[in-house]
């Protein structure tokens, strides 16, 4: 028996040593399998029919190594939509299995740079990766034409290089860039209906991000499930109205307490400009406790914070970030992370959270 165990131990050591020596080749085979799967995968693979809301970027303009700029992806059944396109979010989309090639339309909430600085990359990826023959539709309040046109100008030289290199069949000139679809969204007026189909409705509504105007949020309804994206906003009765009875509210959060600490540090360091900006931003964003109160009044089921300000490098800062939010709002609260996906199956009241950035590991 002892000899058998010794033999077994030696065989195991040899096996492990062999695997260690072959680790590069094993990793290459694994990589091949991951690519095989990724190349043939569809964004909705493995998901029930329903509304799926995912954070392709939960950050803000402040540098945060764990968060891309603002971006929320929505899968309604098989159809993929993107709301805002911040820096780093297009890479997240790919890593989350929500291929930029499959994006049907983009919706912008407003034109602060952090919400549009991934849009050029998204338009280019979707065109070159899918051989699109028509530009990407980019919905937004008035001003969206300027943003889309400007990015197309900036990417114009790259467009020509790609066509020269890959040929018109692979990169059809007519599919380059985006097509702006501007709408009016004024306070006190009705929501703007952007998609009105039997199973899918997408509407825009004005929010309060003054002096940034227009600025909007979006209501997405699919087969009886409802999600609302607040965009950048101060406490807004319009968001409360839009979010009434929503299964999911994705709302920005700026902690007044934590930004106050940043501002004090800026003052102590004699950085008057930065201190002024850190004071100004508190007037057009919303503290998490106020969001929680709004969500409670609106009867929201799940509240997800995104556009997290300031960055939270330690998970233990989530408590101070939320303050008394959990006392105010009794539903599920999540301080959003990049990769989070909230699945709202059709014909059900369930909400399930997964993280699409962690699925391969």
As annotated, the active-site residues are 114
Query: Least CB distance from residue 265 to Zn ion, whole Å?
Result: 22
* CB nearer to Zn ion: pick between 60 and 343: 60
**Three-class secondary structure of residue 223 per DSSP:** coil
**E-assigned strand segments in the chain:** 50-57, 71-76, 79-83, 103-107, 136-141, 178-183, 192-196, 200-206, 216-222, 225-229, 248-254, 302-309, 332-335, 340-345, 352-355
285 binds Zn ion, rule: CB under 5 A: no
Q: Which of 67, 79, 102, 112 forms a contact with Zn ion (CB under 5 A)? A: 112
Query: Least CB distance from residue 279 to Zn ion, whole Å?
Result: 16
Region from 104-112, 139-147, 253-261, 329-337 binding Zn ion, contact rule CB under 5 A: 104-112
334 binds Zn ion, rule: CB under 5 A: no
* CB nearer to Zn ion: pick between 84 and 121: 84
Query: Least CB distance from residue 308 to Zn ion, whole Å?
Result: 11
Region from 230-238, 243-251, 257-265, 267-275 binding Zn ion, contact rule CB under 5 A: 230-238
Closest CA to 131 of 103, 153, 101: 101
**Gap between the Cα atoms of 244 and 238, Å rounded:** 10
114 binds Zn ion, rule: CB under 5 A: yes
Query: Least CB distance from residue 110 to Zn ion, whole Å?
Result: 6
240 binds Zn ion, rule: CB under 5 A: no
Phi, psi of 200 (to 5 degrees): -135, 125
159 binds Zn ion, rule: CB under 5 A: no
* CB nearer to Zn ion: pick between 280 and 350: 280
**Three-class secondary structure of residue 340 per DSSP:** strand
- State the angle between helix axes of 256-268 and 272-280 in degrees (0 to 180), rounded to the nearest 10: 170
232 binds Zn ion, rule: CB under 5 A: yes
* CB nearer to Zn ion: pick between 232 and 240: 232
Region from 75-83, 114-122, 150-158, 187-195 binding Zn ion, contact rule CB under 5 A: 114-122
Give the Å distances, CA to CA, from 221 to 74, 106, 108, 345. 11, 16, 18, 12
Q: What is the DSSP string of 160-197?
A: HHHHHHH-TTTS-GGGSSEEEEEE---TTSPPEEEEE-
Residues that bind Zn ion (CB under 5 A): 112, 114, 232
């Amino acid at each position: 028996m002892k000899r058998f165990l010794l033999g077994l131990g030696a065989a195991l050591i040899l096996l492990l040593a062999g695997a260690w020596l072959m680790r590069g080749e094993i990793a290459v085979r694994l990589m091949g399998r991951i690519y095989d799967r990724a190349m043939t995968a569809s964004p909705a693979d493995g998901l029930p029919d329903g509304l799926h809301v995912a954070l392709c970027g939960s950050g803000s303009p402040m540098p945060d190594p764990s968060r891309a700029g603002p971006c929320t992806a929505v899968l309604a059944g098989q159809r993929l939509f993107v709301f805002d396109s911040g820096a780093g979010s297009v890479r997240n989309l790919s890593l989350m299995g929500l291929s930029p090639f499959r994006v049907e339309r983009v919706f912008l909430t407003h034109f602060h740079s952090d919400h549009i600085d991934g849009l050029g990359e998204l338009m280019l990826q979707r065109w070159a990766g899918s051989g699109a023959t028509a530009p990407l539709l980019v919905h937004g309040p008035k001003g969206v034409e300027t943003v889309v046109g400007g990015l197309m100008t900036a990417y114009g030289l790259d467009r020509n290089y790609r066509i020269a290199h890959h040929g018109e069949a692979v990169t059809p000139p007519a599919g380059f860039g985006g097509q702006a679809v501007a709408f009016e969204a004024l306070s006190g007026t009705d929501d703007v209906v952007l998609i009105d189909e039997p199973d899918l409705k997408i509407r825009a509504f004005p929010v309060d991000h003054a002096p940034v105007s227009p600025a909007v949020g979006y209501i997405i309804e699919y087969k009886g499930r409802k999600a609302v994206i607040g965009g950048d906003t101060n406490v807004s009765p319009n968001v409360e109205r839009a979010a009434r009875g929503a299964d999911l509210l994705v709302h920005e959060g700026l902690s007044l307490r934590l930004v106050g600490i940043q501002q004090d540090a800026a003052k102590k360091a004699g950085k008057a400009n930065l201190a002024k900006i850190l004071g100004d931003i508190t007037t057009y964003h919303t503290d998490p406790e106020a969001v929680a109160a709004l969500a409670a009044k609106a009867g929201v089921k799940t509240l997800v914070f995104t556009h997290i300000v300031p960055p939270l490098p330690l998970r233990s800062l989530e408590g101070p970030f939320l303050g008394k939010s959990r006392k105010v709002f009794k539903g599920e609260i999540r301080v959003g992370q990049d990769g989070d996906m909230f699945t709202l199956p059709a014909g059900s009241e369930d909400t399930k959270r997964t993280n699409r950035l962690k699925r391969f590991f």
